[in-house]
Structure 1
Amino acid sequence: MAHAIEAPATITAEGPTSHTQNQGLALLYGLDAEQIEMLRESIDPRRVGKDGKGFSHLEAWDVRRRLIQIFGFGGWSFDVKTTELASHVAEEKKGRNGTYTAHTVVYRVVGRLTIRNRSGVYLTHFDDGAAGDATNFPSLGDAHDMALKTAMSQALKRCAVNMGDQFGLSLYDDGSIQPVVATAAERYRAAALKVWDDPDGLLQVHADAKRAGALEAKVPGHDGKGTVVLGAWIVARGKELRQAAQGGVTERSAA
């Protein structure tokens, strides 16, 4: 079960610029603007792997690394609240060196991820659980160790996903790396990319973003690296398309 502070209905994440948005959210949640900005970024695709079933996932060590990067060494902690040995099956099997006992062990774990601000003040916590197994281990100790570690790692990842895209929330959307916790500016960026070669479509996105007060917000560039000002980025692409239509040679904007 997740426990988190909720923003009042009168406070939104959509302001004139990403800087002022992040300042407001920082005051609300007790995180600083840099932390808010990191949490709202789309996930780096290099962090995403595939499990044995082909599903997108993050490694537990990578989740810990990102927790340290965003919240600091003392800004988070993970505590195991309960552990339960769910199953232990021992079977006699034949190996190259004769018969041996194969152990299959399953553990269930419930953990708690606690988040603190830069001053060490408690902000919130998230509880979640997971099961982990170890199959056909010849060593009973190794089987218990692997199953327990797997369950704890999975519980940590499930707790962390409550903090959004940096911790794999978007991956639940059919493995997508596009942010699902997005600002208005980020949504208009995505809309612009869908009509990237259509000047009329870009003009409409620009008009919609202007009405929403999102034109001055900074968003990731076309290739996802660096940042650009949304309105200027759309206008520059529109100019490229018009020049191309008139026979000029242009380069695709990849700021």
Structure 2
Amino acid sequence: MAHAIEAPASTTAEGPTSHTQNQAAGLQMLRLEFPKDQIQALPKLWCKRCSDSRTKVCEDHRKAQCKDCGNYLTTAHVDLSYVGHAELTNRLLEADPLWDWEPVAFDQRGLPQFDENGGLWIRLTVCGHTRLGYGDAQSKKGPNAVKEAIGDALRNAAMRFGAALDLWAKSDLREAQSEHPKTAEDDGYVTGAARSADPKAAGSGSTEKETAAAAGDLDRLTGQYRSCWDNPLALAQIRLEGRKVGLKDTQVQGPPPESEWTTFDDLLAVRIAELNAGKRKNAEGSAA
């Protein structure tokens, strides 16, 4: 196996942390929200049986046209919002026309060194400051996989400058990544709450159509989490979807025997923590 040769660090990687006025303005530009027309939807299947099926739909679900991502696929999926490579590149150029990136390591041929997982570590330098990023192509092969890994790494590194940070649900992403490093996009980019399933919480401006849509979202996601109650990854993504459609603080009844009322978000957060704690305990027992 070829040994990796560490890439020389950028001259700015160890540079001073003080900002000139132009640098500060450029870095602040990275933090600006992206326009809605630049945010794309990335579908993620939460049903393992659908994922494993040759037709990508199991007998418990059906295929339909998704109004969010526009794809015709199983209903057992969530849509995670993310910013594409072109949109991010444009934002980087706006912040710093001289931005640059480099791989952390090169192989013996002088090409970027991918790790044993097929991932790529990079250094992204913007406005004289450097951050690390990591990207992968989700087991894809060929030249397009290389380009996808680079784009993924750039999005990951740019996030550490604050780019598209408003699309991240940080705590939920960490829980999902503990089981599956690539959650959306992304890296797990998600949109904020859109509407509430509780007519009172929705406010006087809510329409009957919005209330009906929210109730439909609640019924749909309730059915989803009940069917994968022992799958922490699926529950984490359903929790993200719940926040996306405004169900975070909606009151739901917990599982028996207590069947206590709690919020949609707290119900799934507690269950995910229980499942992850059980996995850690089993792992420690096996190690002992």
Q: TM-score range by the shorter chain?
A: 0.3 to 0.5
Q: Which has the larger radius of gyration?
A: 1
Which TM-score applies when normalising by structure 2? 0.37
- TM, length-normalised to structure 1: 0.41
